[in-house]
Structure 1
């Protein structure tokens, strides 16, 4: 026994360590990826913001130049009289380009003809009106975009902006400026955002902030999602950011990446700590398991012996202990289980008694009396009202007829059901208001109410329950009838309804003689009765009905003498 417990404890101790270590490993990997992704997201945000600020700055510079009075006068003279001081305009354009720190600057006339260039001063006189971005400016629009321009015979990718030069309500020229996107620009962007950047156009690396030649950077472009790769044996997380022009046509891709080397190194150290922790935990588990094995084996052996007694049907067991640890809790749980089994065993006996009663239930006389009594009471009330010329006779007649018809229907139903294999009718559930149901039953006891022998207190709240109306009335009638008979002509019975912990409660209290301890044990036994002419079936049928409604019925002593009967039914959803 001790060895088995030791092995169980050892395994139970080691498995959590293994499980925790495994989970921590995967959590660590996930956290590493999550941190890398968060770092990349922050970097992407910084790069995009810097890129947008650069574009907005170029547009602002070009817009300012387009509103320059000297330039406006020059273009106005050119447009109106055809005169242009070409060398002066070229010189001004070159000066403006250097002053604004631009790599590209062009001034055109109202029809898109180049009048001066800052980056190639000797080139002018040709038209660029067909270029979409220049055409937008000629139409009066201010635009910034990404484009490809030839400078000194080589195509250069640049961030550019255009702005129209206005005179009154017409465009008299266009100013276009830009900044080349090369390694110098990417290095500046890297300094601001802290990211490695690779500019790719047509699957060719145009510029990069990663050391080494472009052909040495073995990089596979994988779409727009975040992905991991290695460049020069250093792990990176990259994200592809498309660079588009003002028409949203993609010109190139900017790969934004961050190195995860430091994260990988740090998490490898953490993983090593986890492994050492798991090894130490295994040794500790071995020592503790060996020490606890003996302490645990003794009470478990005792519990095994008690369980053997319970297997033979002896439920009168109670394991004594003064321990408050887990074993003590186990023993307390065992005692609770034993008590539950004892209660279940008693319920099983009660169920067998109820089954026996069902087999003997061909004697339906008791149940037949229940409908006949209301019929008799209703006819007596009707006759008394007629003899007394009661002014409410029509209403009493209507209620009496309804009661008689209802109870006759109930009588026919009982006879039919009991004649079939001596079975009690199965409940037919409908949504009912328990207050209204009890009130309708109380009309059968109008004489007792008038004599103040029966007092009714109905709940102010509606108590909706799913019940078989006839059967619940029959169960309450059985209990109420017993209470009235027990108290005699001078006694008092109180019938009340209320809500208690999601249950609708029917409480019947009387001040009669009550029951002896021996009688209480047999109240729900078939044919047991304390009355000379009683059948011994009333309470049994009531309990069967309430049980089939998933309710409970309890009988207790009244503190002031007599008996209290509580019927509980679950309130409908």
Structure 2
């Protein structure tokens, strides 16, 4: 990452760090405050609902007491003492119930038989043990019970708050059991009062429901004995919206701060890094071989001193490099000349000895001269051929042409080379493993020369004992690789450091230039040639080139 980018990011981080620290803390505090507010509202609403239910129970209790103390109820009790069937009919309780604002009212005799029912007239003459059980309650407060009522779908049980009062006339006693149903009307009233979604439940059954709230929600339960439960559902949407709103504000502030910080960072980093980038570019050009680079940039302080030092360094580096290159060139040619002289000297010795022998035999007028002449001529011609090979190899090494690069499919090239060895010597088998699509930019002819040389060397290494030759072509993300592996004697570790030097060879009659030429070809292609393998188990030459995309 460039220094300018890092400085710009540093300015941006300086702007974001305070916000990153504050946002979680602020949001946590906001959620806590809103949650406490919602909890307080739910507690107040639940208390209001409790009061509303108690108020409805108190109204029902007062209505029943007023009914019991009314003159109409006294007259009804008197008439019922004389003739209950004529005095109390099936429809007697209904007008009394409506006149007092009740939704449940039943009149019972002393045994619990229903004389009249305002909420279920068809109950006349039948016992109602649930309602009549209220008469045994010691407390005058209404109690929750399940009352049977008739609806559109037939009889169903609805929770109600009821209370019981006796009406005595002489030795006759009537029981008045009345109250209010916990129905849709009460649910709607509680919903308006609390702002919550209110459900009246009898067990797990929803009897009435009113209101609606937006999720997410939280519920509170108000139990009314075993017969009924009031469930209040409150919305947390306002809390979430407030949190989201604050978070969006922080994001907007962070975006503005980040934009300003990045802009300021870019301006400041440009001023700071311009000399550094100029020095970097200059150093890169020096690394590419441009020794005369001079950095022309205005800078002060330590950076200005660095620019001056760099310019002085490149001036000195150019002159030093030129001297060094000239010295290395002379040394290299001296080494090549020494090795070439050594290689040429070896054939000259047998040539000289053969000629001296011929001269001595001729001076002695020896009759063996014709036979010795033919023998010595053969030796001389063989050594002359060897000299010619040395000179030809040296010529190729010294005049290696510049590679003509083009995309080359290494798998196809390897198969073409192996086709030249379709009939290997007896005891030698050739195997290929080619990954398709491995392409590199290379000079096809020069690369073919390298592979032919490697395959030929591998065959010669296995000439005596036989073995297997493996040629593998594979590609990685960056490199195209060709491996030539044999099962011959291998190359000793002490020879591997010099195996690619000119005129170094371990073969009888070898010139020592084949692998040197191959290594130089790979070097001029931007690749390399390596040797591996375990001693005694064969050699493995690895050819690596930059892969073409």
TM-score, structure 1 normalization: 0.39
TM-score, structure 2 normalization: 0.41
State the structure with more CA Rg.
2
